[in-house]
Amino acid sequence: MDEATARDRLRSVEDPDLGDDIVSLGLVNEVWIDEGTVHVDLALGAPFAPTETAIAEAVRDAFDEPIELTASLPADMTSSEVLDGVTNVIAVASGKGGVGKSTVSVNLAAGLADMGADVGLFDADIYGPSVPHMLGADERAGATDDDRIEPPEKHGLKLMSIDFLLGDDAPVIWRGPMVHNLLTELFEDVAWGDLDYMIVDLPPGTGDAQLTLLQTVPVTGAVVVTTPQDVAVADARKGLDMFGEHETPVLGIVENMGTFRCPDCDSTHDIFGTGGGETLAKEADLPFLGSIPLDPEVREHGDSGAPIVRAEGATGDAFREFAATTADMQGLMHRQRVADD
């Protein structure tokens, strides 16, 4: 086995989304042989995403010889002074409040962690921080030996929220410059370590906090949350416009509070309408990441600090599928960029 033969073997592995083999697409960074072991470094950047996991398995299956795989994106796709060590920063946004954006953020983060990823969750909703409550996290942030903020951990997630730094029931009144300074400090001064994904729960709307994030942090993808109703969809379009103005890649649209199934009569009801999120995704030519049912258990799990993505049932299944699809879209976006370079 030599490098040329190994690359020929790799040409048998196709990217199912891009429709060509991984060598032709430029997804093989390096191949070398060392004492009979084939080493392959792939340009994959969405750890534990189902599609990229399948690609890696297909590479292993292409060889009878011992093989070791690594994955690394080109330096210009990952280098950043802010959040160094974090591979993917996924912002979860909505055009308006009340659509369950924080619930989506919490369950996306927990779903990715359950897939095996190292995940951080940053509650950037400084006006109404609710992530700690939804995760049952009451531990305050600590400090490292070099005076950086040590994020608490809960449910396998590294967490940061302004709620950790404030006293109980403290009023939150922030103005533009204060918002910028606070968020910048939290991003830069927290010892996040190495993470596969950081989920950022943004405040609703398109104000100072969102602008600070897009100017400061290397966002690799955004998820826009809406409910099916027309007014929420209209506001979600504003969120899409905001990301478009800053050339931030959008991974797709997720619809929350979809069909309600009555537990007593087993009939279904579209309380907030139907299909709004999927229609918006089609109009914007973006992936539809899934529809999450309207389910009282979501509220119950949030109040008890246990993400419903870890529960049995249709709603847990919907969140798990959403997390997997979001990871797949992040991976596809990386691979498309590599193939286009």
What residues form the annotated binding site?
Answer: 95-102
Distance, in Å, from the CA atom of 260 to the CA atom of 267, rounded to the nearest integer, reads 8
Closest CA to 137 of 269, 338, 307: 307
Helix (H, G, I), strand (E, B) or coil at 238: helix
Return all residues near 285 (Cβ < 8 A) that are at least 6 apart.
none
Q: Do residues 313 and 340 lie in contact, with contact meaning Cβ atoms separated by under 8 Å?
A: no
Q: What are phi and psi of 260, to 5 degrees?
A: -105, 125
CA angle 121, 125, 130 (to 5 degrees): 70
Annotated binding-site positions for ATP: 95-102
The alpha carbons of the chain give a radius of gyration, in whole angstroms, of 21
**Distance (Å, whole) CA 153 – CA 160:** 9
The encoded tokens of residue 165 equal 């730094």
* DSSP strand pairing (142-143 vs 260-261): unpaired
User: 28-34 and 37-42: which strand pairing?
Assistant: antiparallel
Cβ-based neighbours of 235, under 8 Å, separated by 6 or more:
94, 95, 96, 226
Q: Residue with structure tokens 């490292």?
A: 144
Question: Rounded to whole angstroms, how far apart are CA atoms 75 and 237?
Answer: 32
| Distance separating alpha carbons of residues 256 and 229, to the nearest angstrom | 10
**Helix H or strand E segment including 244:** helix 230-245
If DSSP codes are grouped into helix, strand and coil, which group holds residue 102? helix
Q: Which residues are paired to 67 by β-bridges? A: 38
Nearest to 90 by CA among 330, 338, 333, 336: 330
